[in-house]
Structure 1
C-alpha cells in the first residue's frame, strides 16, 4: 500500500515537471496523410458505391467472389444473416441471386449438411463488396493465367530448351 502511494506521488511530481508535447508538430504520415497532432481531421470518405460491372473475374481457383452490391447496415451475427434472405437455396431463384455454394453446406469432415455450416456462416470473413477504392499499396499479384503466359514466353526466348 505504501509503495503504491509512493509510486503515485513520484509519477505525479514527474508529470508536473514534464514539458507539454508540441501539438503543432507534423504528425507522422501513414495511411492518413497530413495534419498535426493537435488537429482533428475528418476521415476520408468511404469509397464509392459498388460498381455496376456485373461479376468480377476471379484470379485463382476457390477465390471467394466479391459482393456486387452495398451491404451497409446488413445484420450478420450468430442470430441472423441478412445475406441468406436472397442467397439461400429457397430464396435465390425468386431473388435472381446466386445460391450459396454447396461448399458452404460442408462441415470440417466434408459432410454436406442441410444448412450453412458455422464455419461458412459469416459471409464477410471471405467476401467483400466490390468498390472503386484505390489500393493503399501497390500489388504485384499475377493471376495464374498471367504466370503461365510469362513462363511460356520465357521458355520461348530461351529457345524452348527447358
Structure 2
C-alpha cells in the first residue's frame, strides 16, 4: 500500500513539473482573459472610462427582479459604513422633495423577513446591485433576449 502511495505521489510530481515547463513556454500560462493576451506581470494602459449619459430616462428591465439602473453620474458618491450619499435623495424622508425614486420597501426587511425602521444592513451598500447606465459595448458576445413578459 505504501508503495502505491509513493508511486502516485511521484507520478503527480512529474506531471506537475512538466505542466510548469509548458506554462513557462507560453509566457502567460496559456490563459487569455478579457484583458487580452497581456502578460500578467506587464502593465497595460487602462481602458477608457465608459460614458455615463447625463440624466437620461430609465432603461427598462431585461429580466424579472433586475435591480433598477442608476440614470445619473455617481462619481465621488460615498457609500461606506459612515455615509450613504444615495440615501440623501432616495431615502423615504427626502425622495419627494428631491424628485427621486424612493428605495423599495424590500430594503427595510432583514433575512428573517422582519420589518425594520431603517434600511437593512444587507441592503445598505447600493452599488452592490445598482449600477449606472453607460454607453458600453458588451465584453463578450451573447445572445441574451429579454424575457417575453417584459418585451
Equivalent position SS for 1:83: helix
State how far apart, in whole Å, the 1-side matches of 2:120 and 2:85 are: 15
Which residue among 87, 92, 95 is the counterpart of 1:92?
95
1:134 positional shift: 0.9
Give me the CA root mean square deviation: 2.7
2:48 maps to which of 26, 30, 45: 45
Shift in Å, 1:29: 5.7
Deviations 1:81-140, CA, capped at 9 Å, x for gaps: 110010000110111000010000111122221100011000011111110011101222
In our comparison, the structure showing a higher alpha carbon Rg is 1
CA distance in 1, matches of 2:98, 2:55: 18
Q: Compute the TM-score of the two structures, normalised by the length of structure 1.
A: 0.65
Contact in 1 for aligned 2:108/2:116 (Cα 8 Å): yes
Looking at structure 2, the residues matched to 26 and 81 of structure 1 have their Cα atoms a distance apart, in angstroms, of: 44
Alpha-carbon distance in structure 1 between the residues aligned to 2:59 and 2:134: 11
Return 52-61 or 114-123, whichever deviates more.
52-61
1:109 paired residue among 109, 112, 116: 112
TM-score (norm 2): 0.70
Which structure's relative contact order is higher, taking Cα pairs within 8 Å and 6+ residues apart? Answer: 2
Contact 1:51 1:132 in 2 (8 A): no
Residues 51 and 130, structure 1, Cα contact 8 Å, conserved in 2: no
